């Protein structure tokens, strides 16, 4: 899986420009500055290894991850220890420490938002399903549908305008405000409040719709009737029997969503100028800095895989019908 | 099978709904249910509102040059006389909204926001429709193939879908849209960008629909009418085309309608991030990106944002209604 992702990234970066007619020198000239002569471009292509066959370049990359690598950028040989994701073509900094620096930002964003959206989305979904057809249900579903239809980069802009830049309020932090949780948990939360809420709103809407549909379906199952027939309190029927059954598909989607989100909440981070993995990816792509892009996509894919693994384990906890062999 | 006694009158009214009704007729048990589906859809006021907005938007996109000629100024024309040269924002109140400029003018350049929204609808809808068509095409073909043949074919295709679903798609799409130079594959300019975006968006979205179609095919394959066809000597391709595909029309149609809004958001996101159709060609996402750089003029963000919101909402409303009408389990 990781191998496929890394190969695909590599292919996008090397094969597509080749197919479109770029040369090794042409590609390398991007990384040596504006005043590049043909010779410096040639040297750079040689140094970055663009002249080797693709498979050799890829092999070198994989070897770096497993065993570390040595790089020579003209200023002496540098060591890059074991999970070596290469050096940036432009800043010449190793990629891996960079990624680790950015990870807490994205992680804070994702975890905070996930907490809000799961509680809110599932809660509203259950209530809606139980009070199907009431004013509450109608209203909640209309809001949820609106939520699904709003792009985050628009809600982000508007929320910043309304609540951070003083038109009319300035309660929340402005774009780009981030304090690490170790420095001050209160300011950390203050800075992330708006991104959390907007991001959570988007997802809560989807989850509310899914939960409602799931609950409506499970509450018609035979085992719910059995539970009621044996005299269980309605509350217990709903939480222990109904919700458990309805949660399975939601956990699946949560795994995917959350995994993708830690890999880089590209749009949210761009809208709020947060320096997380998503912003890192965008900057790297804008600069066509392959090692950075490779690093960030690999990390993102890793998170998706981990999240899916955890989801599979969670199934057994939530749904008594699933047995791990 | 005997011919239906009465062709639904509605068939001639509106093409997509008529197709839906026809598909429903065969998908659900018996011919009258198709009409019931169409009736249900017609009675669903919210869904019909969505459909009305969609028709309106499509007309706007098609007639963009005429509308702009009547109500606006060319989308690329600068109107610096509307801009205060010191602050770089429009001179008049409300960002210059008035009879002359219906949605006001942009700060700095003073281009007509109304015309840019109208032209933006073209790019947005064109890309979303064609990308959806591509996804649905790939998804249906591979989904049916995987579901019908099973075995190693199914394994390969299902694995491919899993891989796609685990990809950080947005990052990939951005990377792919970012590396392609301005002239490639014999195309250039807007044509290249639009076809590139259609390809990227369509190509990355097929597994969602593929999975659904595969699941449906798996259950349809075991049904009696397929057995009957096979016992009469029909072979794979015939069964797929004549027996399975007509029965799959309902889910295909539902998910296609629900995929369009996703694709509109996808295109807007790519344009917002600067890897979509290149400026100065107006796109909704691109207009929002411009607005993000200038915080002092909020109306500049509101119109493109609303345009995206209304379009996406309309498709979602219609798609939901369509699902309720076609899905036999959806009896509220």
Shortest Cα distance from A150 to chain B (angstroms)? 5
In a domain, B27, yes or no: no
**pLDDT-derived band at B133, boundaries 50, 70, 90:** very high
Is residue A238 classed exposed, middle or buried when 0-12, 13-18 and 19+ CB atoms within 10 A define those classes? Answer: buried
User: Are the Cβ atoms of A281 and B171 closer than 8 angstroms?
Assistant: yes
Q: What is the number of alpha carbons within 13 Å of residue A128 lying toward its C-beta?
A: 25
**pLDDT-derived band at B3, boundaries 50, 70, 90:** very low
Q: What does R_g of chain A's alpha carbons equal in angstroms?
A: 25
In a domain, B5, yes or no: no
Cα–Cα distance for residue pair A63/A124, rounded to 1 Å: 49
Q: Please report which helix (H) or strand (E) contains residue A77, including its range.
A: strand A77-80
- pLDDT of residue B318 exceeding 80, the answer is yes
Q: Is A68:A84 a contact under the CB 8 Å cutoff?
A: yes
Q: Please report which helix (H) or strand (E) contains residue A69, including its range.
A: strand A69-72
Cα–Cα distance for residue pair B97/B114, rounded to 1 Å: 10
Domain count of the fold of chain B:
1
DSSP per-residue codes, A212-237: HHHHHHHTTSHHHHHHHHTT--HHHI
- pLDDT of residue B269 exceeding 80, the answer is yes
Beta strands in A171-257 (DSSP E): none
* pLDDT tens digits along A71-120: 655 555 566 666 667 777 777 777 787 888 888 888 888 888 888 988 88
**Cross-strand pairs, A69:** A80
φ, ψ dihedrals at B236, nearest 5°: -40, -65
Output the CA torsion sign for B196, B311, A157, B64.
Answer: positive
Give the residue with greater pLDDT, A223 vs A12. A223
For residues A190-194, average pLDDT: 77
**pLDDT-derived band at B134, boundaries 50, 70, 90:** very high
Is residue B265 classed exposed, middle or buried when 0-12, 13-18 and 19+ CB atoms within 10 A define those classes? Answer: buried
* pLDDT tens digits along A199-217: 888 888 888 888 888 888 8
* pLDDT tens digits along A26-82: 566 556 555 556 666 666 666 666 666 667 777 777 777 766 666 655 555 566 666
In a domain, B20, yes or no: no
Shortest Cα distance from B148 to chain A (angstroms)? 25
User: Are the Cβ atoms of A20 and B180 closer than 8 angstroms?
Assistant: yes
A21 contacts in B (CB within 8 Å)? 181, 184
pLDDT value at residue A244: 77
pLDDT value at residue B289: 82
- pLDDT of residue B11 exceeding 80, the answer is no
Shortest Cα distance from B331 to chain A (angstroms)? 11
Shortest CA distance from A285: residue in chain B: B175
Cα–Cα distance for residue pair A309/B294, rounded to 1 Å: 43
For residues B272-291, average pLDDT: 81
Helix (H, G, I), strand (E, B) or coil at A70: strand
Mean pLDDT estimate for chain A: 75
Q: Is B298:B159 a contact under the CB 8 Å cutoff?
A: no
Q: Please report which helix (H) or strand (E) contains residue A132, including its range.
A: none
Shortest Cα distance from B76 to chain A (angstroms)? 23
CB neighbour list of residue A242: distance below 8 Å, 6 or more residues apart: A215, A218, A219, A224
- Helix axis angle, A135-149 to B299-326, nearest 10°: 120
* pLDDT tens digits along B21-38: 444 445 555 556 667 777
In a domain, B217, yes or no: yes
Shortest CA distance from B267: residue in chain A: A151
In a domain, B80, yes or no: yes
Beta strands in chain B (DSSP E): 183-184, 187-188
In a domain, B100, yes or no: yes
pLDDT value at residue B266: 87
pLDDT value at residue B12: 40
- pLDDT of residue A267 exceeding 70, the answer is yes
**pLDDT-derived band at B166, boundaries 50, 70, 90:** low
Preferred mutation among B165, B166, B174, B320 to probe A, highest tally of A CBs within 10 A: B166
Cα–Cα distance for residue pair B270/A72, rounded to 1 Å: 36
For residues A256-262, average pLDDT: 79
* pLDDT tens digits along A10-33: 666 666 655 555 555 556 655 655
Of A4, A157, A297, the CB nearest to B292: A157
pLDDT value at residue A280: 84
Is residue B232 classed exposed, middle or buried when 0-12, 13-18 and 19+ CB atoms within 10 A define those classes? Answer: exposed
For residues B99-127, average pLDDT: 78
- pLDDT of residue B2 exceeding 80, the answer is no
For residues B121-147, average pLDDT: 89
Give the residue with greater pLDDT, B14 vs A113. A113
User: Are the Cβ atoms of A158 and B163 closer than 8 angstroms?
Assistant: no
In a domain, B10, yes or no: no
pLDDT value at residue B92: 63
Residue with tokens 């708006």: A194
Superfamily the domain A96-322 falls into: MetI-like (1.10.3720.10)
Cα–Cα distance for residue pair B124/B309, rounded to 1 Å: 12
Backbone φ/ψ region at A86: left (φ over 0), alpha (ψ -120 to 50), beta: left
Q: Is B194:B127 a contact under the CB 8 Å cutoff?
A: yes
* pLDDT tens digits along B196-230: 888 888 888 888 888 888 888 888 877 888 788 88
Give the residue with greater pLDDT, B309 vs B46. B309
**pLDDT-derived band at B157, boundaries 50, 70, 90:** confident
CB neighbour list of residue A163: distance below 8 Å, 6 or more residues apart: A169, A170, A171, A172, A194
A158 contacts in B (CB within 8 Å)? 298, 301-302, 305
A281 contacts in B (CB within 8 Å)? 171, 174
- pLDDT of residue B262 exceeding 70, the answer is yes
CB neighbour list of residue B39: distance below 8 Å, 6 or more residues apart: none
Give the residue with greater pLDDT, B5 vs A285. A285
Cα–Cα distance for residue pair B311/B55, rounded to 1 Å: 11
pLDDT value at residue A171: 64
A304 contacts in B (CB within 8 Å)? 166-168
pLDDT value at residue B89: 67
Number of helical H runs and strand E runs in chain A: 14, 2
Mean pLDDT estimate for chain B: 76
Helix (H, G, I), strand (E, B) or coil at A28: helix
Here the CATH number for the domain that contains residue B285 is: 1.10.3720.10
Domain residue limits, chain A: 2-84, 96-322
């Amino acid at each position: 899986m990781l191998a496929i992702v890394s190969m695909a990234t590599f292919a996008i970066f090397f094969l597509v420009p080749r197919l479109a007619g770029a040369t090794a020198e042409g590609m390398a000239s991007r990384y040596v500055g504006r005043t590049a002569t043909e010779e410096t471009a040639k040297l750079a292509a040689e140094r970055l290894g663009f002249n080797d066959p693709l498979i050799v370049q890829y092999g070198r990359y994989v070897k770096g991850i497993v065993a570390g690598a040595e790089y020579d950028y003209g200023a002496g040989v540098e060591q890059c220890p074991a999970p070596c994701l290469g050096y940036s073509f432009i800043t010449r900094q190793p990629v891996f420490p960079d990624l680790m620096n950015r990870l807490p930002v994205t992680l804070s964003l994702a975890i905070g938002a996930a907490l809000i959206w799961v509680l809110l989305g599932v809660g509203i979904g259950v209530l809606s399903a139980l009070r199907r057809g009431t004013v509450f249900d109608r209203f909640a579903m209309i809001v949820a549908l609106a939520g699904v239809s709003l792009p985050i980069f628009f809600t982000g802009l508007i929320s910043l305008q309304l609540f951070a830049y003083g038109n009319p309020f300035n309660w929340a932090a402005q774009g780009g405000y981030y304090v690490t949780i170790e420095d001050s948990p209160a300011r950390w939360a203050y800075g992330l409040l708006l991104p959390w809420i907007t991001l959570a709103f988007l997802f809560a809407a989807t989850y509310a719709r899914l939960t409602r549909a799931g609950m409506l379906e499970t509450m018609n199952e035979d085992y719910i009737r059995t539970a009621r027939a044996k005299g269980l309190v309605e509350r217990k029927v709903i939480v222990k029997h109904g919700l458990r059954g309805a949660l399975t598909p939601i956990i699946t989607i949560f795994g995917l969503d959350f995994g993708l989100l830690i890999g880089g909440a590209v749009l949210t981070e761009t809208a709020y100028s947060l320096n997380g993995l998503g912003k890192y990816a965008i900057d790297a792509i804008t600069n066509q800095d392959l090692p950075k892009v490779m690093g960030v996509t690999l990390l993102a894919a890793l998170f998706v895989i981990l999240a899916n693994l955890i989801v599979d384990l969670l199934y057994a906890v939530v749904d008594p019908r699933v047995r791990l062999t | 099978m005997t011919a239906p006694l009465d062709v639904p009158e509605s068939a001639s009214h509106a093409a997509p709904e008529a197709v839906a009704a026809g598909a429903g007729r065969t998908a659900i048990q018996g011919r009258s249910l198709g009409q019931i589906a169409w009736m249900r859809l017609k009675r669903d006021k919210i869904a019909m509102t969505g459909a009305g907005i969609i028709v309106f938007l499509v007309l706007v996109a098609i007639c963009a040059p005429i509308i702009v000629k009547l109500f606006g100024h060319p989308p690329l024309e600068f109107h610096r006389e509307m801009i205060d040269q010191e602050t770089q924002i429009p001179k008049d109140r409300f960002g210059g909204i008035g009879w002359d400029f219906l949605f006001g003018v942009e700060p700095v350049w003073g281009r007509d926001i109304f015309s840019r929204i109208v032209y933006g609808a073209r790019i947005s809808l064109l890309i979303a429709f064609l990308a959806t068509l591509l996804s649905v095409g790939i998804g249906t073909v591979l989904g049916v193939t995987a579901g019908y043949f099973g075995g190693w074919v199914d394994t390969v295709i299902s694995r491919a879908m899993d891989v796609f679903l685990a990809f950080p798609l947005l990052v990939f799409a951005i990377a792919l849209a970012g590396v392609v130079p301005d002239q490639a594959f014999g195309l250039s300019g807007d044509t290249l960008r639009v076809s590139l975006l259609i390809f990227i968006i369509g190509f990355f979205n097929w597994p969602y629909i593929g999975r659904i179609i595969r699941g449906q095919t798996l259950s349809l394959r075991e049904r009696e009418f397929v057995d009957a066809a096979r016992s009469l000597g029909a072979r794979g391709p015939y069964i797929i085309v004549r027996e399975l595909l007509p029965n799959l029309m309902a889910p295909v149609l539902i998910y296609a309608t629900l995929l369009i809004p996703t694709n509109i958001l996808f295109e807007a996101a790519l344009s917002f991030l600067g890897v979509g159709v290149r400026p100065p060609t107006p796109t909704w996402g691109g207009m929002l990106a411009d607005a993000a750089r200038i915080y002092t003029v909020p109306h500049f963000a509101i119109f493109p944002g609303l345009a995206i919101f209304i379009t996406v909402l309309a498709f979602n409303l219609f798609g939901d209604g369509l699902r309720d009408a076609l899905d036999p389990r959806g009896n509220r």
